[in-house]
Structure 1
Amino acid sequence: MIKTISMLDFPNAKINLGLLVTEKRPDGFHNLESCFYPMGWCDALEIVQADELTFTMSGLPVPGNPDSNLCLKAYKLLQQGFQLPPVHMHLHKVIPMGAGLGGGSSDAAFTLKQLNSLFELNLTPEKLEDYARQLGSDCAFFIRNEPVVAVEKGDVFKPTSVNLDGYTCVLVYPGIHITTAEAYGNIVPKKPSCGIEMFLKQDVGVWKEVLKNDFEEALFPSYPELAGIKQQLYNAGADYASMTGSGSTIYGLFKKEPANLVFPGHYLLWKGLL
């Protein structure tokens, strides 16, 4: 029995608290170590039972063929094991692409969760994570959507006690789309002398000296405006500022809401209390 014929949800972004690229894998991917932390910057995804499978989008333009969107891929992946009725999916895109925020991965994971609930598939979080890993390296994070330390390809998780409740986070996307290939092109993997978990246990005010994103060193020389945004956030009083993912969003963590933050009009900004 179907509980309802439609469902609306809000796939959210994430940031990386530190990101170390530790080695290149035989399969061509890279092993990494990072802390994934959910953010309140959200898309909107509605799934409605329909006579035929359709998918539409609004909001920020998404490059590429809509037929290759991860939401559709998530539906078709589940369809391999279940007799899913056709649905209409509408995605309103708010989280920018190529921004290191995991928006596409979140959309895919939320599609899996919504279909699981809508059609009472009774898939456990563990099984949903298995499906999500087939769609993308960090898709599985958004199934439980809680802070974790991510290792291997970013799809194996360890619990973490890091808690940013009470901090205000400012996310700044300058409109620079950085492809994964470009981001990894200048990366030299290296084994860290100390794991990220040790740094996360320290006060946020200490992170500036110890918690690094390897992609900053690789990308800041080509995109000096990114380094400028990071410095502007520190000048405004951020306890910690960093690039998230492989760019190009820069975020700052503030103990109190910052004032006098002014960026060019074409930048996309999000600010929220964690």
Structure 2
Amino acid sequence: MTPASLTDLKAPAKLNLFLHVTGRRADGYHLLQSVFVPIDWCDTLHLHLRTDGQITRHDLTATLPPEDLCLKAARLLQQHSGTSLGADVHIDKQVPWGAGLGGGSSDAATVLKGLNTLWGLHWPTERLAELAVQLGADVPFFIHGRPAWVEGVGEQITPIELPQALFDTPVAVLKPPVAIPTPAIFGSENLRRDEKPAIVADFLAAPKQFGCNNLEEPAKAYSQEVVQALEWMQARFGNSRMTGSGSAVFAWVDTLSHQRQPFTPADVGVSDLTQTGPWVGRMCRLIRQA
């Protein structure tokens, strides 16, 4: 018997521990290499069964398009499964959008997984992941929900065992007010597209320091606030890197004194720039399985 509702479903954000652009296909899509890791900064979803076939999201605001990714995910699963059931979708949105944290993709993946249960479909994970490819490059990763080595245009996902030290080390995440459109990054003249392909062993030899994010330079050219975020985090924690296509920046918090303190944007000196919009900061942990 299937449940009438599923509540408190966690949709975690992710970090790209590195992100290399190794080439470009003839169709214009960029070839990437990255390690994706879910973190404990989450949205919370609530799904309620409908028998009339309607699918409705009840928390949409002026900042979210009516045809958002979650509704697309639900309708795609409904279409491909042939079910006559529907759902009411409620999302407690905590992960900022336009950040490179994958919040929208994670929400969509959580909708697919949740409705798979709510509608009694019992599709295996791989079948859901194949459907998720139609929704965007990051959505299949969130279907699997565990650290992964990602290649191609995001569709080649291989689970990876990370050292325990990474899960033991907090990461500070800082999101500037700017939301960066992904097409602006990949279309930038500042984007390097010829990074040498990496191998897993090299990454695992120094996972906190390995590689770079090739999308940083275009993002810095797009917004001075990304530059400021990188500089402030470097000054505070001794390291900084942008995740995804930005604008969020993260830093490993290796110093015990920093780990014991709460992290807010004011901790890295942004309190005097609040007129540009809200800065969001959080101390996070990597998680093994979403």
User: Do the two structures share a fold, i.e. TM-score over 0.5?
Assistant: yes
Aligned 8 A contact 1:183 1:219 in 2: yes
Helix, strand or coil at the partner of 1:157 = strand
| Residue of structure 2 equivalent to 1:136 | 136
- Superposition pairs of residues 157-236 of structure 1, within 5 angstroms: 157-163=157-163, 164-186=166-188, 187-195=190-198, 197-204=200-207, 207=209, 210-236=210-236
Aligned 8 A contact 1:24 1:189 in 2: no
**1:35-63 Cα shifts (integer Å, max 9, x gaps):** 10101111121110125424234487533
Helix, strand or coil at the partner of 2:231 = helix
**RMSD of aligned alpha carbons:** 2.1
Aligned 8 A contact 2:22 2:197 in 1: no
Q: Structure 1 residues 59, 40: CA separation in 2 closer, same or farther (over 3 Å shift)?
A: farther
Once the two structures are overlaid, the 10-residue window that deviates more, 187-196 or 147-156, is 187-196
- Superposition pairs of residues 32-181 of structure 1, within 5 angstroms: 32-52=32-52, 53-58=54-59, 62-64=63-65, 66=66, 68-80=67-79, 81-163=81-163, 164-181=166-183
- Superposition pairs of residues 253-272 of structure 1, within 5 angstroms: 253-255=252-254, 256=256, 257=259, 259=261, 260-264=267-271, 265=274, 266-272=278-284
Helix, strand or coil at the partner of 1:214 = coil
Q: State how far apart, in whole Å, the 1-side matches of 2:128 and 2:69 are.
A: 15
Q: CA deviation at 1:219?
A: 2.1
Helix, strand or coil at the partner of 1:132 = helix
**1:136-172 Cα shifts (integer Å, max 9, x gaps):** 1110000121111111111211232323111111111
Aligned 8 A contact 2:21 2:214 in 1: yes
**1:226-268 Cα shifts (integer Å, max 9, x gaps):** 2222222222234x42100011000111123175444335201
- The AA in structure 2 aligned to 1:245 is G
- The AA in structure 2 aligned to 1:6 is S
Aligned 8 A contact 1:15 1:38 in 2: yes
User: Structure 1: 5+ residue runs without aligned partners?
Assistant: none
Once the two structures are overlaid, the 10-residue window that deviates more, 155-164 or 108-117, is 155-164
Q: State how far apart, in whole Å, the 1-side matches of 2:198 and 2:240 are.
A: 19
Once the two structures are overlaid, the 10-residue window that deviates more, 162-171 or 11-20, is 162-171
| Residue of structure 1 equivalent to 2:264 | none
Q: State how far apart, in whole Å, the 2-side matches of 1:229 and 1:60 are.
A: 27
| Residue of structure 1 equivalent to 2:11 | 11
TM-score in terms of structure 1 length: 0.89
Helix, strand or coil at the partner of 1:134 = helix
Helix, strand or coil at the partner of 2:250 = strand
User: Structure 2: 5+ residue runs without aligned partners?
Assistant: 262-266
Q: State how far apart, in whole Å, the 2-side matches of 1:237 and 1:26 are.
A: 41
Q: Structure 1 residues 60, 96: CA separation in 2 closer, same or farther (over 3 Å shift)?
A: farther
Q: CA deviation at 1:271?
A: 1.2
Aligned 8 A contact 2:22 2:196 in 1: no
- The AA in structure 2 aligned to 1:55 is T
Q: Structure 1 residues 16, 73: CA separation in 2 closer, same or farther (over 3 Å shift)?
A: same
- The AA in structure 1 aligned to 2:25 is R
Identity over the aligned pairs, expressed in percent? 31
Q: State how far apart, in whole Å, the 1-side matches of 2:100 and 2:154 are.
A: 13
**1:184-239 Cα shifts (integer Å, max 9, x gaps):** 1225453333505244212355x1xx42001112221332332222222222234x
Aligned 8 A contact 2:230 2:240 in 1: yes
Once the two structures are overlaid, the 10-residue window that deviates more, 251-260 or 212-221, is 251-260
Helix, strand or coil at the partner of 1:183 = helix
TM-score in terms of structure 2 length: 0.84
Aligned 8 A contact 2:180 2:219 in 1: no
